């Protein structure tokens, strides 16, 4: 092979060797997680663009961010001047062209591997050569997601906890191709958001959900088998294990569809029967009882106080 053959590389590959300074952030998905990520990015001084195909969802996202920062102002955590500045840093759009000048794009779409892969395939042609790509997936292989992009070396997992403005932890997950410069840049970015970081290997559900969601699934089995009712299980874990929220209440907060998706990923990826999703969890998802976001899950949220559904 000629020397030119050895040295030839694309602009993206050449750029990937050098850490980049992240100033402009793009977020894909205007749901709860995407809105939360936009919230903390804007408050930390980053220029933020939120992309979603649903214009109404984008308007709802900006409104929710404004309300949530206002709540922080009322509690004395943020001053009003910082709130106003943060809101001016947020823009929205329903065309991926709006992400073309971003230094980093964080995907926060639904926890579905095929949906995420489709998004990344459509997104890559719009990005500049040195842009970083991250997924906020809570369970899916970073290596597999990166493989459908044109920049696996500049791709990694950046898993925020919910609710993003409150929770201090971010999981950092390298794919097999992720370069050290990418990891370093993204870790620095997370730290600028005021987050603590932990590094996880690219195994199904990473660290937090590898431990947390099977516990939730076991609580659902405890309900399914009639060991205790909803109220008894949640009170037992809050008072007996000093958990701030009972596991069934937590499942409703996370979203039962997300819990099921993570358990399915664990079961498929690790081939261990201890990760088998509880049939009752699957039944609730089939019914559309997904928790707080639909108004009903293990609790009914239609009244002044949540009421157990079993």
**For the chain, which residues make up each domain, given as ranges?**
3-200, 209-296
Q: Does residue 5 register a pLDDT over 80?
A: no
pLDDT band for 8, please (50, 70, 90 cuts).
very low
Contacts of 82 (CB under 8 A, 6+ apart): 43
pLDDT band for 202, please (50, 70, 90 cuts).
very high
Question: What would the mean pLDDT of 137-144 be, rounded to a whole number?
Answer: 95
Catalytic residues: 138, 159, 171, 209
- Do 55 and 94 touch, CB atoms closer than 8 A? yes
Question: What would the mean pLDDT of 141-157 be, rounded to a whole number?
Answer: 97
3-state class of 172 per DSSP? strand
Question: What would the mean pLDDT of 58-80 be, rounded to a whole number?
Answer: 96
Instruction: Give me the helix-helix angle, 247-254 and 208-224, nearest 10°.
Output: 120
Q: Which helix (H) or strand (E) holds 196?
A: strand 196-200
Main-chain dihedrals φ then ψ at residue 27, nearest 5 degrees: -130, 130
Do you find a cis peptide bond into 163, omega within 30 degrees of 0? yes
DSSP tag of 204: T
Instruction: Give me the helix-helix angle, 230-240 and 208-224, nearest 10°.
Output: 140
Question: What would the mean pLDDT of 155-183 be, rounded to a whole number?
Answer: 96
Give this prediction's pTM. 0.86
- Do 192 and 198 touch, CB atoms closer than 8 A? no
pLDDT band for 19, please (50, 70, 90 cuts).
confident
pLDDT band for 161, please (50, 70, 90 cuts).
very high
Q: What is the pLDDT of residues 224-270, one digit of tens each?
A: 999 999 999 999 999 999 999 999 999 999 999 999 999 999 999 99
Q: What is the mean pLDDT of the chain?
A: 93
Structure tokens at 158: 């950046």
pLDDT > 70 fraction of the chain, expressed in percent and rounded: 95
Q: Does domain 209-296 have CATH number 3.90.1150.10?
A: no
Q: Does domain 3-200 have CATH number 3.40.50.300?
A: no
- Do 233 and 248 touch, CB atoms closer than 8 A? yes
Q: Where are the alpha helices (DSSP H) in the chain?
A: 3-7, 11-15, 32-43, 55-74, 80-88, 113-123, 142-147, 180-192, 208-224, 230-240, 247-254, 256-270, 279-287
pLDDT band for 20, please (50, 70, 90 cuts).
confident
pLDDT for 18 = 72
Q: Quick one: CA torsion of 32, 305, 233, 263, rounded to 10 degrees?
A: -20
Distances (CA, A) of 234 to 134, 223, 237, 249, 299: 35, 10, 5, 7, 11
Longest dimension (CA), the chain: 74
Q: What is the pLDDT of residues 265-286, one digit of tens each?
A: 999 999 999 999 999 999 999 9
How distant is the alpha carbon of residue 162 from its chain centre?
8
Scored b (16 or more CB within 10 A) or e, 221-231 reads bbbeeeeeebb
Structure tokens at 96: 């991926």
pLDDT band for 210, please (50, 70, 90 cuts).
very high
- How long, in residues, is the chain? 310
Residue with tokens 């001047």: 81
What is the helix, strand, coil percentage profile of the chain, to 5?
Answer: 50, 15, 35
């Amino acid at each position: 092979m000629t020397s030119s053959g050895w040295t030839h590389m694309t602009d993206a590959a050449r750029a990937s060797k050098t850490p980049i300074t992240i100033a402009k952030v793009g977020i894909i998905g205007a749901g709860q997680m995407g809105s939360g990520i936009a919230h903390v990015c804007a408050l930390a001084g980053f220029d933020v663009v939120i992309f979603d195909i649903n214009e109404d969802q984008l308007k709802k996202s900006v409104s929710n961010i404004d309300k949530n920062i206002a709540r922080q102002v009322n509690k004395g955590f943020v001053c009003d001047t910082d709130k106003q500045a943060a809101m001016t840093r947020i823009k929205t759009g329903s065309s991926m062209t709006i992400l073309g000048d971003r230094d980093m794009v964080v995907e926060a779409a639904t926890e579905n591997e095929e949906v995420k892969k489709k998004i990344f395939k459509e997104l890559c042609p719009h990005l500049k050569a040195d842009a970083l790509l991250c997924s906020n997936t809570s369970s899916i292989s970073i290596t597999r997601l990166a493989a459908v992009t044109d920049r696996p070396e500049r791709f990694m997992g950046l898993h925020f906890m919910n609710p993003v403005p409150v929770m201090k932890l971010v999981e950092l997950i390298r794919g097999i191709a992720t370069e050290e410069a990418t990891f370093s840049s993204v870790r620095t970015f997370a730290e600028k958001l005021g987050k603590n970081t932990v590094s996880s290997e690219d195994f199904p559900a990473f660290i937090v959900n590898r431990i947390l969601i099977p516990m939730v699934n076991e609580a659902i089995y405890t309900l399914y088998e009639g060991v205790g009712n909803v109220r008894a299980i949640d009170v037992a874990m809050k008072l007996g294990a000093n958990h701030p929220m009972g596991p069934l209440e937590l499942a409703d907060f996370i979203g039962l569809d997300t819990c099921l998706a993570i358990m399915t990923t664990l079961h498929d990826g690790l081939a261990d029967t201890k990760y088998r999703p509880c049939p009752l969890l699957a039944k609730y998802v089939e019914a559309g009882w997904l928790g707080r976001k639909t108004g009903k899950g293990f609790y009914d949220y239609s009244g002044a106080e949540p009421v157990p559904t079993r």
